[in-house]
Structure 1
Amino acid sequence: MRHYRLYMLLLLSAFTQCTNAQKKVLLNGSLSPNKVYKTEMNNQMNMVMNMSGDSAMMEQLSASGMKSPMTMTMNQGMFMTTKTGATQADKKIPVTITYDKMSVTTNIGGQENTQETNPFSDAVIKGTTEGDGKIKVDTIIGNLDEGMRANLKTIVNNIQAAIKFPENELKIGDSFDQETPLVMPIAQMQVKMKVHAKYTLKEIKGSKAIFDLKQDIAMDMSMTDTPYKITGTGSGTGVMIFDIDKKMMDKSDADTKYKIDMEINGMKMDMDCNAKTSVKMEVE
Protein backbone atom coordinates (compact mmCIF):
# COMPACT_ATOMS: atom_id res chain seq x y z
CA MET A 1 0.00 0.00 0.00
CA ARG A 2 2.87 2.36 0.87
CA HIS A 3 4.49 1.79 -2.54
CA TYR A 4 1.15 2.34 -4.26
CA ARG A 5 0.65 5.68 -2.49
CA LEU A 6 4.19 6.73 -3.33
CA TYR A 7 3.63 5.79 -6.96
CA MET A 8 0.39 7.81 -7.11
CA LEU A 9 2.10 10.80 -5.46
CA LEU A 10 4.93 10.73 -7.98
CA LEU A 11 2.47 10.32 -10.83
CA LEU A 12 0.40 13.27 -9.62
CA SER A 13 3.52 15.40 -9.21
CA ALA A 14 4.71 14.53 -12.71
CA PHE A 15 1.27 15.28 -14.15
CA THR A 16 1.16 18.66 -12.39
CA GLN A 17 4.61 19.62 -13.68
CA CYS A 18 3.68 18.53 -17.18
CA THR A 19 0.45 20.54 -17.07
CA ASN A 20 2.27 23.66 -15.87
CA ALA A 21 4.95 23.20 -18.51
CA GLN A 22 2.32 23.04 -21.24
CA LYS A 23 0.64 26.27 -20.12
CA LYS A 24 1.35 29.00 -22.63
CA VAL A 25 0.14 32.54 -23.05
CA LEU A 26 0.05 34.97 -25.97
CA LEU A 27 0.26 38.56 -24.78
CA ASN A 28 -2.12 39.86 -27.40
CA GLY A 29 -2.58 43.40 -26.12
CA SER A 30 -5.40 45.20 -27.88
CA LEU A 31 -8.10 47.85 -27.62
CA SER A 32 -11.64 46.55 -28.15
CA PRO A 33 -14.45 48.67 -29.67
CA ASN A 34 -17.02 50.45 -27.48
CA LYS A 35 -14.96 50.25 -24.29
CA VAL A 36 -13.72 52.66 -21.62
CA TYR A 37 -10.16 52.12 -20.34
CA LYS A 38 -9.06 53.78 -17.10
CA THR A 39 -5.35 54.20 -16.35
CA GLU A 40 -3.81 55.35 -13.08
CA MET A 41 -0.09 56.09 -12.86
CA ASN A 42 1.83 57.00 -9.72
CA ASN A 43 5.50 57.85 -9.32
CA GLN A 44 7.39 58.37 -6.07
CA MET A 45 11.01 59.46 -5.94
CA ASN A 46 13.39 60.09 -3.05
CA MET A 47 16.79 61.60 -3.78
CA VAL A 48 19.78 62.57 -1.64
CA MET A 49 22.30 64.85 -3.34
CA ASN A 50 25.78 65.55 -1.96
CA MET A 51 27.57 68.60 -3.36
CA SER A 52 31.24 69.49 -3.13
CA GLY A 53 33.55 72.15 -4.56
CA ASP A 54 36.07 74.79 -3.56
CA SER A 55 35.40 77.10 -0.61
CA ALA A 56 34.05 79.91 -2.80
CA MET A 57 31.52 77.59 -4.42
CA MET A 58 30.38 76.17 -1.09
CA GLU A 59 30.00 79.69 0.38
CA GLN A 60 27.92 80.74 -2.62
CA LEU A 61 25.84 77.60 -2.22
CA SER A 62 25.24 78.34 1.45
CA ALA A 63 24.35 81.97 0.72
CA SER A 64 21.63 80.82 -1.68
CA GLY A 65 20.04 78.75 1.09
CA MET A 66 21.19 75.37 -0.20
CA LYS A 67 22.86 72.81 2.03
CA SER A 68 24.69 69.57 1.38
CA PRO A 69 23.43 66.93 1.53
CA MET A 70 20.11 68.02 0.05
CA THR A 71 17.06 65.77 0.15
CA MET A 72 14.40 65.84 -2.56
CA THR A 73 11.13 63.96 -2.82
CA MET A 74 8.47 63.87 -5.52
CA ASN A 75 5.02 62.29 -5.67
CA GLN A 76 3.30 62.39 -9.04
CA GLY A 77 -0.12 61.05 -9.98
CA MET A 78 -1.95 60.94 -13.30
CA PHE A 79 -5.36 59.59 -14.29
CA MET A 80 -6.39 59.17 -17.91
CA THR A 81 -9.39 57.78 -19.78
CA THR A 82 -9.30 56.11 -23.19
CA LYS A 83 -12.64 55.60 -24.94
CA THR A 84 -13.11 53.52 -28.08
CA GLY A 85 -16.01 53.72 -30.53
CA ALA A 86 -17.55 51.25 -32.95
CA THR A 87 -15.40 49.63 -35.64
CA GLN A 88 -15.56 51.64 -38.88
CA ALA A 89 -15.85 50.36 -42.43
CA ASP A 90 -12.05 50.60 -42.85
CA LYS A 91 -11.63 48.31 -39.79
CA LYS A 92 -10.26 51.18 -37.72
CA ILE A 93 -11.57 51.98 -34.24
CA PRO A 94 -11.90 55.64 -33.20
CA VAL A 95 -10.12 56.52 -29.95
CA THR A 96 -10.54 59.49 -27.59
CA ILE A 97 -8.07 60.16 -24.75
CA THR A 98 -8.50 62.64 -21.89
CA TYR A 99 -6.28 63.41 -18.90
CA ASP A 100 -8.71 63.62 -16.01
CA LYS A 101 -6.36 64.51 -13.17
CA MET A 102 -2.71 65.33 -12.62
CA SER A 103 -0.92 66.24 -9.40
CA VAL A 104 2.69 66.75 -8.35
CA THR A 105 4.05 67.30 -4.85
CA THR A 106 7.74 68.10 -4.43
CA ASN A 107 9.89 68.76 -1.39
CA ILE A 108 13.33 70.20 -2.05
CA GLY A 109 15.48 70.91 0.96
CA GLY A 110 12.42 71.19 3.19
CA GLN A 111 10.47 73.46 0.84
CA GLU A 112 7.25 71.69 -0.18
CA ASN A 113 5.19 72.59 -3.21
CA THR A 114 1.98 70.99 -4.44
CA GLN A 115 0.53 71.50 -7.91
CA GLU A 116 -3.00 70.25 -8.47
CA THR A 117 -3.56 72.19 -11.68
CA ASN A 118 -4.01 69.90 -14.67
CA PRO A 119 -2.35 71.56 -17.70
CA PHE A 120 -4.21 69.16 -20.01
CA SER A 121 -7.66 69.48 -18.41
CA ASP A 122 -9.39 70.75 -21.57
CA ALA A 123 -7.36 68.66 -24.02
CA VAL A 124 -8.98 65.89 -26.03
CA ILE A 125 -6.76 63.59 -28.08
CA LYS A 126 -8.46 61.96 -31.03
CA GLY A 127 -7.05 59.13 -33.08
CA THR A 128 -7.61 55.59 -34.31
CA THR A 129 -6.45 52.06 -33.62
CA GLU A 130 -6.71 48.88 -35.62
CA GLY A 131 -7.30 46.85 -32.47
CA ASP A 132 -3.63 46.04 -31.90
CA GLY A 133 -3.32 48.49 -29.01
CA LYS A 134 -1.34 51.00 -31.06
CA ILE A 135 -2.92 54.45 -31.28
CA LYS A 136 -2.38 56.83 -34.18
CA VAL A 137 -2.95 60.39 -32.98
CA ASP A 138 -4.84 62.43 -35.59
CA THR A 139 -5.64 65.65 -33.76
CA ILE A 140 -5.55 67.33 -30.35
CA ILE A 141 -8.46 69.58 -29.40
CA GLY A 142 -8.08 72.22 -26.70
CA ASN A 143 -6.54 75.55 -25.79
CA LEU A 144 -2.93 74.40 -25.95
CA ASP A 145 0.21 75.87 -27.42
CA GLU A 146 2.40 73.85 -29.77
CA GLY A 147 4.79 72.89 -26.99
CA MET A 148 2.01 71.36 -24.87
CA ARG A 149 0.59 69.56 -27.91
CA ALA A 150 4.00 68.06 -28.56
CA ASN A 151 4.27 67.02 -24.89
CA LEU A 152 0.90 65.27 -25.08
CA LYS A 153 1.91 63.33 -28.18
CA THR A 154 5.15 62.35 -26.44
CA ILE A 155 3.25 61.09 -23.38
CA VAL A 156 0.93 58.98 -25.55
CA ASN A 157 3.87 57.54 -27.49
CA ASN A 158 5.82 56.81 -24.28
CA ILE A 159 2.85 54.97 -22.76
CA GLN A 160 2.52 52.82 -25.87
CA ALA A 161 6.25 52.11 -25.90
CA ALA A 162 6.38 51.26 -22.19
CA ILE A 163 5.91 47.54 -22.82
CA LYS A 164 6.09 45.94 -26.26
CA PHE A 165 4.72 42.44 -25.94
CA PRO A 166 6.30 39.62 -27.98
CA GLU A 167 4.39 38.10 -30.87
CA ASN A 168 5.17 34.50 -29.88
CA GLU A 169 3.57 32.45 -27.10
CA LEU A 170 5.35 32.25 -23.74
CA LYS A 171 5.50 29.39 -21.26
CA ILE A 172 6.55 29.43 -17.61
CA GLY A 173 10.19 30.53 -17.39
CA ASP A 174 10.22 32.29 -20.77
CA SER A 175 11.16 35.96 -20.90
CA PHE A 176 11.20 38.95 -23.21
CA ASP A 177 13.31 42.11 -23.17
CA GLN A 178 12.46 45.77 -23.56
CA GLU A 179 14.65 48.86 -23.84
CA THR A 180 13.17 52.30 -23.23
CA PRO A 181 14.64 55.79 -22.80
CA LEU A 182 14.50 57.66 -19.49
CA VAL A 183 14.91 61.43 -19.38
CA MET A 184 15.53 63.20 -16.06
CA PRO A 185 15.56 67.02 -15.80
CA ILE A 186 18.50 67.84 -13.48
CA ALA A 187 20.14 71.25 -13.09
CA GLN A 188 18.33 72.63 -16.15
CA MET A 189 19.59 69.73 -18.27
CA GLN A 190 17.96 66.68 -19.79
CA VAL A 191 19.91 63.71 -18.42
CA LYS A 192 19.29 60.79 -20.75
CA MET A 193 19.43 57.19 -19.61
CA LYS A 194 18.43 53.81 -21.02
CA VAL A 195 16.36 51.28 -19.10
CA HIS A 196 16.74 47.62 -20.07
CA ALA A 197 13.90 45.52 -18.67
CA LYS A 198 13.54 41.73 -18.64
CA TYR A 199 10.08 40.24 -18.04
CA THR A 200 10.08 36.57 -16.99
CA LEU A 201 6.81 34.61 -16.86
CA LYS A 202 6.56 33.33 -13.28
CA GLU A 203 3.09 31.75 -13.27
CA ILE A 204 -0.31 31.69 -14.93
CA LYS A 205 -3.10 31.96 -12.38
CA GLY A 206 -6.57 31.86 -13.89
CA SER A 207 -6.71 34.61 -16.51
CA LYS A 208 -3.65 36.41 -15.12
CA ALA A 209 -0.10 35.98 -16.42
CA ILE A 210 2.33 37.10 -13.70
CA PHE A 211 5.82 38.29 -14.65
CA ASP A 212 8.91 39.06 -12.59
CA LEU A 213 10.62 42.26 -13.70
CA LYS A 214 14.33 43.08 -13.58
CA GLN A 215 15.77 46.39 -14.75
CA ASP A 216 19.24 47.68 -15.57
CA ILE A 217 19.75 51.41 -16.01
CA ALA A 218 22.72 53.06 -17.73
CA MET A 219 23.64 56.42 -19.14
CA ASP A 220 22.84 56.98 -22.79
CA MET A 221 26.40 57.39 -24.07
CA SER A 222 25.07 58.85 -27.32
CA MET A 223 24.32 62.05 -25.38
CA THR A 224 26.66 64.68 -26.83
CA ASP A 225 24.70 67.87 -26.20
CA THR A 226 26.44 68.79 -22.92
CA PRO A 227 30.09 69.47 -21.96
CA TYR A 228 29.52 68.26 -18.40
CA LYS A 229 30.81 65.00 -16.95
CA ILE A 230 27.91 62.69 -16.14
CA THR A 231 27.83 59.02 -15.18
CA GLY A 232 24.96 56.93 -13.94
CA THR A 233 23.87 53.36 -13.28
CA GLY A 234 20.97 51.66 -11.55
CA SER A 235 18.82 48.58 -11.20
CA GLY A 236 15.29 47.64 -10.26
CA THR A 237 12.85 44.83 -9.61
CA GLY A 238 9.09 44.52 -9.88
CA VAL A 239 6.02 42.64 -11.03
CA MET A 240 3.82 42.95 -14.12
CA ILE A 241 0.42 41.26 -14.42
CA PHE A 242 -1.24 40.73 -17.80
CA ASP A 243 -4.97 39.97 -18.05
CA ILE A 244 -5.32 37.31 -20.75
CA ASP A 245 -9.10 37.59 -21.09
CA LYS A 246 -9.14 41.39 -21.27
CA LYS A 247 -6.05 41.46 -23.53
CA MET A 248 -4.35 44.20 -21.54
CA MET A 249 -1.86 44.84 -18.79
CA ASP A 250 -3.64 44.74 -15.44
CA LYS A 251 -0.96 46.36 -13.29
CA SER A 252 2.75 46.96 -13.03
CA ASP A 253 4.88 47.85 -10.00
CA ALA A 254 8.61 48.59 -9.96
CA ASP A 255 11.17 49.61 -7.33
CA THR A 256 14.26 51.24 -8.80
CA LYS A 257 17.55 52.46 -7.37
CA TYR A 258 20.08 54.46 -9.34
CA LYS A 259 23.08 56.69 -8.81
CA ILE A 260 24.09 59.73 -10.86
CA ASP A 261 27.43 61.55 -10.57
CA MET A 262 27.83 64.95 -12.22
CA GLU A 263 30.53 67.61 -12.44
CA ILE A 264 29.42 71.07 -13.57
CA ASN A 265 31.92 73.94 -13.69
CA GLY A 266 33.98 72.44 -10.86
CA MET A 267 30.97 71.57 -8.70
CA LYS A 268 30.53 67.85 -8.02
CA MET A 269 27.07 66.42 -7.35
CA ASP A 270 26.47 62.82 -6.30
CA MET A 271 22.84 61.71 -6.33
CA ASP A 272 21.35 58.54 -4.86
CA CYS A 273 17.77 57.94 -5.95
CA ASN A 274 15.02 55.51 -4.97
CA ALA A 275 11.90 55.40 -7.11
CA LYS A 276 8.61 53.53 -7.07
CA THR A 277 6.39 53.35 -10.13
CA SER A 278 2.88 51.93 -10.23
CA VAL A 279 0.47 51.57 -13.17
CA LYS A 280 -3.07 50.19 -12.92
CA MET A 281 -5.54 49.66 -15.75
CA GLU A 282 -9.25 48.85 -15.78
CA VAL A 283 -11.77 48.38 -18.57
CA GLU A 284 -15.48 49.09 -18.47
Structure 2
Amino acid sequence: MKTRAAEGGTGGVRRRPTLLSNAETWAQLAVAARIGPEAYAAVGTAAEPGTVLLTVNRPGPGPVVVEAPFGTRLGDVLHACGLRPGDSVLVGGYHGAWLGPVDAAGASLSRTGLAELGATLGAGAIVALPAVTCPLGEITRVAAWLAGESAGQCGPCRRGLPDAADALVALATGAGGPAGLEDVRRALGGAQGGGACSHPDGTARFVLSALDVFAPDVEAHIAGPGCGRPVLGVLPLPRGEGARLEVDWSRCAGHGLCGVLAPGLVRLGPHGYPASTTIPVAPWQEHGARRAVSQCPALALRMRRPERGPGRLR
Protein backbone atom coordinates (compact mmCIF):
# COMPACT_ATOMS: atom_id res chain seq x y z
CA MET A 1 0.00 0.00 0.00
CA LYS A 2 1.17 3.51 -0.76
CA THR A 3 0.30 6.94 0.47
CA ARG A 4 -0.74 9.66 -1.92
CA ALA A 5 2.66 11.30 -1.49
CA ALA A 6 4.46 8.04 -2.35
CA GLU A 7 2.49 7.85 -5.59
CA GLY A 8 3.54 11.33 -6.58
CA GLY A 9 0.41 13.13 -5.38
CA THR A 10 0.36 16.19 -3.17
CA GLY A 11 -3.13 15.77 -1.65
CA GLY A 12 -4.49 14.12 1.43
CA VAL A 13 -5.93 15.22 4.74
CA ARG A 14 -4.72 18.81 5.12
CA ARG A 15 -2.38 18.13 2.17
CA ARG A 16 -0.41 15.57 4.18
CA PRO A 17 0.44 11.96 3.23
CA THR A 18 -2.72 9.98 3.99
CA LEU A 19 -3.43 6.27 4.12
CA LEU A 20 -7.05 5.09 4.24
CA SER A 21 -8.24 1.51 4.13
CA ASN A 22 -10.96 -0.73 5.56
CA ALA A 23 -11.15 -2.63 8.83
CA GLU A 24 -10.25 -5.96 7.22
CA THR A 25 -7.01 -4.55 5.82
CA TRP A 26 -5.99 -3.14 9.21
CA ALA A 27 -6.76 -6.52 10.80
CA GLN A 28 -4.57 -8.25 8.20
CA LEU A 29 -1.76 -5.79 8.88
CA ALA A 30 -1.96 -6.61 12.58
CA VAL A 31 -1.69 -10.35 11.86
CA ALA A 32 1.26 -9.83 9.49
CA ALA A 33 3.04 -7.66 12.05
CA ARG A 34 2.52 -10.26 14.78
CA ILE A 35 3.57 -13.42 12.93
CA GLY A 36 6.01 -11.91 10.42
CA PRO A 37 5.95 -11.75 6.61
CA GLU A 38 7.19 -15.32 6.02
CA ALA A 39 4.49 -16.92 8.16
CA TYR A 40 1.86 -14.62 6.73
CA ALA A 41 2.81 -15.58 3.16
CA ALA A 42 2.62 -19.31 4.00
CA VAL A 43 -1.08 -19.25 3.07
CA GLY A 44 -2.73 -17.81 0.00
CA THR A 45 -1.05 -17.43 -3.37
CA ALA A 46 2.30 -15.98 -4.29
CA ALA A 47 0.66 -12.89 -5.79
CA GLU A 48 -2.00 -12.59 -3.08
CA PRO A 49 -0.77 -13.95 0.26
CA GLY A 50 -2.92 -14.20 3.35
CA THR A 51 -6.64 -14.72 3.80
CA VAL A 52 -9.87 -13.00 2.80
CA LEU A 53 -13.15 -12.57 4.67
CA LEU A 54 -16.23 -13.70 2.77
CA THR A 55 -19.87 -13.09 3.65
CA VAL A 56 -21.83 -16.10 2.39
CA ASN A 57 -25.58 -15.66 2.25
CA ARG A 58 -27.62 -18.66 3.39
CA PRO A 59 -31.40 -18.12 2.95
CA GLY A 60 -32.36 -20.43 5.82
CA PRO A 61 -29.84 -20.12 8.66
CA GLY A 62 -28.77 -16.62 7.61
CA PRO A 63 -25.42 -15.27 6.39
CA VAL A 64 -22.10 -16.47 7.73
CA VAL A 65 -18.64 -14.87 7.59
CA VAL A 66 -15.90 -17.23 6.42
CA GLU A 67 -12.15 -16.62 6.45
CA ALA A 68 -10.37 -18.46 3.65
CA PRO A 69 -6.87 -18.31 2.12
CA PHE A 70 -6.63 -16.51 -1.20
CA GLY A 71 -6.77 -19.10 -3.97
CA THR A 72 -9.30 -21.35 -2.22
CA ARG A 73 -11.85 -22.85 -4.59
CA LEU A 74 -15.26 -21.22 -4.36
CA GLY A 75 -16.86 -24.65 -4.50
CA ASP A 76 -15.05 -25.65 -1.30
CA VAL A 77 -16.32 -22.55 0.51
CA LEU A 78 -19.89 -23.25 -0.57
CA HIS A 79 -19.59 -26.89 0.54
CA ALA A 80 -18.27 -25.82 3.94
CA CYS A 81 -21.35 -23.60 4.32
CA GLY A 82 -23.74 -26.40 3.34
CA LEU A 83 -24.50 -24.90 -0.06
CA ARG A 84 -24.31 -25.94 -3.70
CA PRO A 85 -23.79 -23.68 -6.72
CA GLY A 86 -27.47 -24.09 -7.65
CA ASP A 87 -28.44 -22.11 -10.74
CA SER A 88 -25.55 -19.69 -10.37
CA VAL A 89 -23.36 -17.88 -7.82
CA LEU A 90 -23.00 -14.15 -7.31
CA VAL A 91 -19.50 -13.11 -6.28
CA GLY A 92 -18.65 -9.60 -5.13
CA GLY A 93 -22.06 -8.41 -4.01
CA TYR A 94 -24.42 -6.25 -6.05
CA HIS A 95 -21.54 -4.62 -7.87
CA GLY A 96 -20.07 -8.05 -8.58
CA ALA A 97 -20.75 -10.64 -11.27
CA TRP A 98 -22.58 -13.93 -11.73
CA LEU A 99 -20.82 -17.23 -12.43
CA GLY A 100 -22.46 -20.34 -13.81
CA PRO A 101 -22.41 -23.43 -11.56
CA VAL A 102 -19.44 -25.07 -13.33
CA ASP A 103 -17.29 -21.93 -13.29
CA ALA A 104 -18.32 -21.19 -9.71
CA ALA A 105 -17.34 -24.61 -8.41
CA GLY A 106 -13.79 -24.33 -9.74
CA ALA A 107 -13.26 -20.58 -9.38
CA SER A 108 -10.17 -19.46 -7.48
CA LEU A 109 -11.04 -16.94 -4.79
CA SER A 110 -8.43 -14.39 -5.71
CA ARG A 111 -8.59 -11.15 -7.64
CA THR A 112 -6.57 -12.64 -10.48
CA GLY A 113 -8.54 -15.90 -10.61
CA LEU A 114 -11.91 -14.19 -10.64
CA ALA A 115 -10.82 -11.60 -13.20
CA GLU A 116 -10.10 -14.46 -15.61
CA LEU A 117 -13.80 -15.36 -15.37
CA GLY A 118 -14.98 -11.77 -15.76
CA ALA A 119 -15.83 -11.50 -12.07
CA THR A 120 -14.49 -9.51 -9.15
CA LEU A 121 -13.96 -10.22 -5.47
CA GLY A 122 -15.37 -6.84 -4.52
CA ALA A 123 -16.78 -6.75 -1.01
CA GLY A 124 -16.44 -10.53 -0.67
CA ALA A 125 -20.21 -11.11 -0.58
CA ILE A 126 -21.34 -14.43 -2.07
CA VAL A 127 -24.85 -15.67 -2.86
CA ALA A 128 -25.67 -19.09 -4.32
CA LEU A 129 -29.00 -18.78 -6.12
CA PRO A 130 -31.17 -21.89 -5.63
CA ALA A 131 -32.99 -23.39 -8.60
CA VAL A 132 -36.44 -22.87 -7.03
CA THR A 133 -36.61 -19.11 -7.58
CA CYS A 134 -36.97 -17.09 -10.79
CA PRO A 135 -33.52 -15.68 -11.65
CA LEU A 136 -34.81 -12.85 -13.81
CA GLY A 137 -37.31 -11.81 -11.15
CA GLU A 138 -34.56 -11.75 -8.53
CA ILE A 139 -32.30 -9.63 -10.75
CA THR A 140 -35.18 -7.24 -11.49
CA ARG A 141 -35.81 -6.64 -7.76
CA VAL A 142 -32.18 -5.77 -7.09
CA ALA A 143 -31.79 -3.65 -10.24
CA ALA A 144 -34.79 -1.51 -9.19
CA TRP A 145 -33.24 -1.05 -5.74
CA LEU A 146 -29.85 -0.14 -7.22
CA ALA A 147 -31.48 2.42 -9.51
CA GLY A 148 -33.08 4.04 -6.46
CA GLU A 149 -29.80 4.10 -4.53
CA SER A 150 -28.21 6.58 -6.91
CA ALA A 151 -27.32 10.12 -5.83
CA GLY A 152 -28.65 11.29 -9.19
CA GLN A 153 -25.61 13.43 -9.98
CA CYS A 154 -24.84 12.22 -13.50
CA GLY A 155 -26.57 10.95 -16.60
CA PRO A 156 -25.80 7.21 -16.26
CA CYS A 157 -27.50 7.12 -12.85
CA ARG A 158 -30.31 9.58 -13.62
CA ARG A 159 -31.33 7.92 -16.88
CA GLY A 160 -29.40 4.73 -17.61
CA LEU A 161 -30.11 2.75 -14.44
CA PRO A 162 -33.86 3.65 -14.22
CA ASP A 163 -34.25 2.84 -17.93
CA ALA A 164 -32.57 -0.52 -17.41
CA ALA A 165 -34.74 -1.26 -14.36
CA ASP A 166 -37.91 -0.47 -16.33
CA ALA A 167 -36.79 -2.64 -19.25
CA LEU A 168 -36.07 -5.51 -16.85
CA VAL A 169 -39.58 -5.24 -15.39
CA ALA A 170 -41.05 -5.47 -18.90
CA LEU A 171 -38.77 -8.40 -19.70
CA ALA A 172 -39.64 -10.28 -16.50
CA THR A 173 -43.39 -9.82 -17.00
CA GLY A 174 -43.24 -10.98 -20.61
CA ALA A 175 -44.14 -7.56 -22.01
CA GLY A 176 -40.69 -6.69 -23.33
CA GLY A 177 -40.31 -9.24 -26.10
CA PRO A 178 -37.00 -9.66 -27.92
CA ALA A 179 -36.56 -5.87 -28.01
CA GLY A 180 -36.75 -5.75 -24.21
CA LEU A 181 -33.42 -7.56 -23.86
CA GLU A 182 -31.77 -5.08 -26.21
CA ASP A 183 -33.33 -2.21 -24.26
CA VAL A 184 -31.64 -3.46 -21.08
CA ARG A 185 -28.27 -3.90 -22.77
CA ARG A 186 -28.51 -0.50 -24.47
CA ALA A 187 -29.37 1.34 -21.26
CA LEU A 188 -26.54 -0.30 -19.32
CA GLY A 189 -24.07 -0.01 -22.19
CA GLY A 190 -24.61 3.73 -22.18
CA ALA A 191 -24.16 3.85 -18.40
CA GLN A 192 -20.80 2.07 -18.36
CA GLY A 193 -17.71 4.20 -18.13
CA GLY A 194 -19.54 7.51 -18.00
CA GLY A 195 -20.49 7.83 -14.34
CA ALA A 196 -19.01 10.11 -11.73
CA CYS A 197 -18.49 7.05 -9.48
CA SER A 198 -18.42 3.26 -9.87
CA HIS A 199 -22.13 2.74 -9.10
CA PRO A 200 -23.34 2.54 -12.72
CA ASP A 201 -20.38 0.35 -13.73
CA GLY A 202 -20.97 -2.06 -10.84
CA THR A 203 -24.71 -2.22 -11.51
CA ALA A 204 -24.09 -2.89 -15.19
CA ARG A 205 -21.66 -5.72 -14.33
CA PHE A 206 -24.25 -7.26 -11.99
CA VAL A 207 -27.10 -7.16 -14.54
CA LEU A 208 -25.20 -7.91 -17.75
CA SER A 209 -23.42 -10.94 -16.27
CA ALA A 210 -26.83 -12.19 -15.09
CA LEU A 211 -28.30 -11.87 -18.58
CA ASP A 212 -25.48 -14.07 -19.91
CA VAL A 213 -25.52 -16.68 -17.13
CA PHE A 214 -29.31 -16.90 -17.02
CA ALA A 215 -29.78 -16.75 -20.80
CA PRO A 216 -32.16 -19.79 -20.91
CA ASP A 217 -34.38 -18.21 -18.27
CA VAL A 218 -34.38 -14.89 -20.10
CA GLU A 219 -35.38 -16.66 -23.32
CA ALA A 220 -38.29 -18.32 -21.48
CA HIS A 221 -39.56 -14.90 -20.42
CA ILE A 222 -39.18 -13.54 -23.95
CA ALA A 223 -40.87 -16.49 -25.64
CA GLY A 224 -43.86 -16.96 -23.34
CA PRO A 225 -45.18 -16.75 -19.81
CA GLY A 226 -41.76 -17.14 -18.22
CA CYS A 227 -39.93 -19.85 -16.33
CA GLY A 228 -42.89 -20.70 -14.09
CA ARG A 229 -40.91 -20.24 -10.88
CA PRO A 230 -41.95 -17.74 -8.20
CA VAL A 231 -39.76 -14.86 -7.10
CA LEU A 232 -38.83 -15.87 -3.55
CA GLY A 233 -36.71 -12.84 -2.70
CA VAL A 234 -33.56 -14.91 -2.13
CA LEU A 235 -31.30 -11.97 -2.94
CA PRO A 236 -31.34 -9.94 0.27
CA LEU A 237 -32.39 -6.30 0.26
CA PRO A 238 -32.81 -3.82 3.13
CA ARG A 239 -36.07 -4.53 4.92
CA GLY A 240 -37.14 -0.91 5.06
CA GLU A 241 -38.46 -0.02 1.61
CA GLY A 242 -38.03 3.45 0.20
CA ALA A 243 -40.76 5.76 -1.00
CA ARG A 244 -42.66 4.71 -4.08
CA LEU A 245 -45.14 6.19 -6.51
CA GLU A 246 -48.27 4.12 -7.15
CA VAL A 247 -50.68 4.36 -10.08
CA ASP A 248 -54.40 3.67 -9.61
CA TRP A 249 -55.41 2.17 -12.96
CA SER A 250 -59.11 2.58 -12.16
CA ARG A 251 -58.59 6.35 -12.22
CA CYS A 252 -55.74 6.86 -14.71
CA ALA A 253 -56.97 8.39 -17.99
CA GLY A 254 -53.65 8.53 -19.79
CA HIS A 255 -53.21 12.31 -19.71
CA GLY A 256 -49.44 11.83 -19.58
CA LEU A 257 -48.89 14.88 -17.37
CA CYS A 258 -46.98 12.80 -14.80
CA GLY A 259 -44.37 12.00 -17.45
CA VAL A 260 -43.92 15.72 -18.08
CA LEU A 261 -43.68 16.68 -14.41
CA ALA A 262 -41.39 13.80 -13.44
CA PRO A 263 -39.61 12.78 -16.67
CA GLY A 264 -36.77 11.00 -14.91
CA LEU A 265 -39.20 8.95 -12.84
CA VAL A 266 -42.35 8.15 -14.80
CA ARG A 267 -41.96 6.37 -18.12
CA LEU A 268 -44.99 6.60 -20.41
CA GLY A 269 -46.09 3.84 -22.74
CA PRO A 270 -47.10 4.39 -26.38
CA HIS A 271 -50.64 5.45 -25.36
CA GLY A 272 -49.66 7.90 -22.66
CA TYR A 273 -50.15 5.63 -19.65
CA PRO A 274 -47.36 5.02 -17.10
CA ALA A 275 -45.38 1.92 -17.99
CA SER A 276 -45.27 0.71 -14.35
CA THR A 277 -47.87 0.65 -11.60
CA THR A 278 -45.36 0.87 -8.76
CA ILE A 279 -42.31 3.09 -9.22
CA PRO A 280 -39.45 3.31 -6.68
CA VAL A 281 -38.69 6.92 -5.82
CA ALA A 282 -35.12 7.91 -4.99
CA PRO A 283 -34.63 10.82 -2.56
CA TRP A 284 -33.56 13.16 -5.36
CA GLN A 285 -36.74 12.28 -7.32
CA GLU A 286 -39.22 13.12 -4.56
CA HIS A 287 -39.83 16.70 -5.66
CA GLY A 288 -40.95 15.59 -9.13
CA ALA A 289 -43.03 12.78 -7.63
CA ARG A 290 -44.87 15.18 -5.32
CA ARG A 291 -45.59 17.51 -8.24
CA ALA A 292 -46.98 14.63 -10.28
CA VAL A 293 -49.24 13.53 -7.41
CA SER A 294 -50.57 17.01 -6.67
CA GLN A 295 -51.26 17.93 -10.30
CA CYS A 296 -52.61 14.63 -11.68
CA PRO A 297 -56.01 15.59 -13.25
CA ALA A 298 -57.49 12.16 -12.48
CA LEU A 299 -56.10 11.90 -8.92
CA ALA A 300 -54.60 8.57 -10.00
CA LEU A 301 -51.24 8.89 -8.22
CA ARG A 302 -50.17 8.57 -4.61
CA MET A 303 -46.89 8.49 -2.74
CA ARG A 304 -46.22 5.82 -0.16
CA ARG A 305 -43.43 6.38 2.33
CA PRO A 306 -41.76 4.05 4.83
CA GLU A 307 -43.02 4.28 8.39
CA ARG A 308 -40.81 3.65 11.38
CA GLY A 309 -40.12 -0.02 11.71
CA PRO A 310 -38.76 -2.39 9.04
CA GLY A 311 -40.78 -3.05 5.94
CA ARG A 312 -43.79 -0.84 6.85
CA LEU A 313 -45.26 1.65 4.42
CA ARG A 314 -47.96 4.26 4.72
TM range (shorter): under 0.3
Relative contact order (C-alpha < 8 Å, sep 6+): which is higher?
1
Normalization by structure 2: what TM-score? Answer: 0.25
Structure number having the greater strand percentage: 1
Normalization by structure 1: what TM-score? Answer: 0.27
Structure number having the greater helix percentage: 2
Larger radius of gyration: 1
